Amino acid sequence: MYFYAARQPILDINKKLFGYELLFRDSIDNVFPDIDGDEATSKMIEASKFNMGISEFTNNKLAFINFTLETLIQGYPEMLTNEEVVVEILETVKPGKKLLGLCKDLHSKNYIIALDDYEHQNVWIHFYPYIKIIKVDIQKTALSEVHKVIEATKDYPHIELLAEKVETYEEYEQAKQLGFTYFQGFFFARPEMVKTKNLSPSQIAMADLLYETSKPELDLAGITQVFERDVSLSYKLLRYANSAAFKRRSEVSTIKQALILLGSSELKRFLALMFAVTVNPEKPNELIKSALARAKFCELIAREMSYKIDVSIAFLTGLLSMIDAILDEKIEVILDKLPLTSEIKDPLLTRKGLMAAIIKLAELIEHAEWDKTNIVMENLIIDKTQTLKHYNEALAWADEQSHLSE
């Protein structure tokens, strides 16, 4: 069984990953709002305990999980450890003596408690000693209301504010200035600003290598020379080739050995990974990880399709679908600089065709837009359960690769 969930990153003030909010549904068919909060939480706990651990899904980061009053009364939070879950109390739960008692009990057991979509009422002050995080939807909360929350919590320094639905870099900066500690939303996956950015010589070399490896016949000698001129790239290639992902009898110690072992498809994947992680070191690692997960997901879906799709092309196209956010530049300008085939460029520029539909599917799952996800899967004629399996596999692979590339 697999989680029917999307994970949305929660970043700290330095854009480092703090945890994930898990957006759960019972199945790909039980789309929001057809399943209530009690059932959604119950299924999440069931899946994590008896099938796949939540810590695996979140790469051992904190999981923010929504709880209703009923699931709190049933003691569901305690089926998970206080080291893997943040107990997020839904905004629909009304403050009262029963809830206060539950919060006191969870706090005494060292669980982190968060209030979701917080709207200030004085009655919540009674809960403040037991609350660690208050989440504020900055899209629907007026600035004057935000100031009320800040004023109300100033005497409780242990309480940290989390800005939800941060859509732009400007909103991130404003929330940071207001004193928010954590940030959730799509701001890290969108260009922070439009500006001209030239690729460095090593980045251009990697782009050229991507192009060379897309040819039917590899120029092994030429590719080897490019690697040998870049010590850092050579080191990472050898580290990648010697990783547990590849079965080998002895250690790979030369560039030529590594290239032969990897082959064209895996080499192309490695170069795409290196291009992504080095192209803008100021970007949060979670953005790069999201791009890698999307690339792997596109590759896995391409393997499932009855139509003939080059899986290497699917991987690279999926990766480059987020390159505008990584480089802070319009995708049309970026693709004009890269020596890539129209097979890769066209889906990204026109948003039309089979490859574009696969990328759209990835985006919808990332945002937990399950109703629209269903429509796209039906159009692509792909199995729903297998699709979610591939999404989970892609997330796990991206988590692993982000460590290999460090």
From first to last of its 406 residues, what are the pLDDT tens digits of the chain? 445 667 889 999 988 899 998 876 544 444 333 445 555 555 555 555 434 557 677 888 898 988 889 889 988 888 888 998 999 999 989 999 999 999 999 999 999 999 999 999 999 999 999 999 999 999 999 999 999 999 999 999 999 999 999 988 889 999 999 999 999 987 776 665 544 455 565 666 676 676 666 566 777 887 887 777 776 777 778 888 877 666 666 677 788 888 888 887 788 778 777 776 666 666 777 887 888 899 889 989 998 886 778 887 888 889 888 888 777 778 888 788 776 778 888 999 999 999 999 999 999 988 888 888 889 998 999 988 889 889 989 988 888 776 655 5
CATH of domain 4-189: 3.20.20.450
Quote the pLDDT of residue 99.
Answer: 96
As a whole number of angstroms, the distance between CA 345 and CA 195 comes to: 21
Helices 311-320 & 255-279 angle (0-180, nearest 10): 30
Q: Where are the domains of the chain?
A: 4-189, 201-404
Write out pLDDT tens, residues 138-171.
999 999 999 999 999 999 999 999 999 998 888 9
DSSP character at residue 58: T
Three-state DSSP state, 343: helix
Q: Taken in order 76, 79, 82, 86, is the CA torsion positive or negative?
A: negative
As a whole number of angstroms, the distance between CA 122 and CA 7 comes to: 32
As a whole number of angstroms, the distance between CA 288 and CA 140 comes to: 29
Quote the pLDDT of residue 31.
Answer: 37
Instruction: Give the tokens for residue 201.
Output: 């010589």
Quote the pLDDT of residue 203.
Answer: 63
Contact 19/87 with Cβ under 8 angstroms?
no
Distances (CA, A) of 381 to 96, 307, 318: 49, 10, 19
As a whole number of angstroms, the distance between CA 153 and CA 257 comes to: 60
Quote the pLDDT of residue 51.
Answer: 44
Quote the pLDDT of residue 253.
Answer: 74
Helix (H) or strand (E) holding 26, with range, is none
Closest to 209 (Cα-Cα) out of 230, 183, 180, 238: 230
- What CATH class does 201-404 carry? mainly alpha
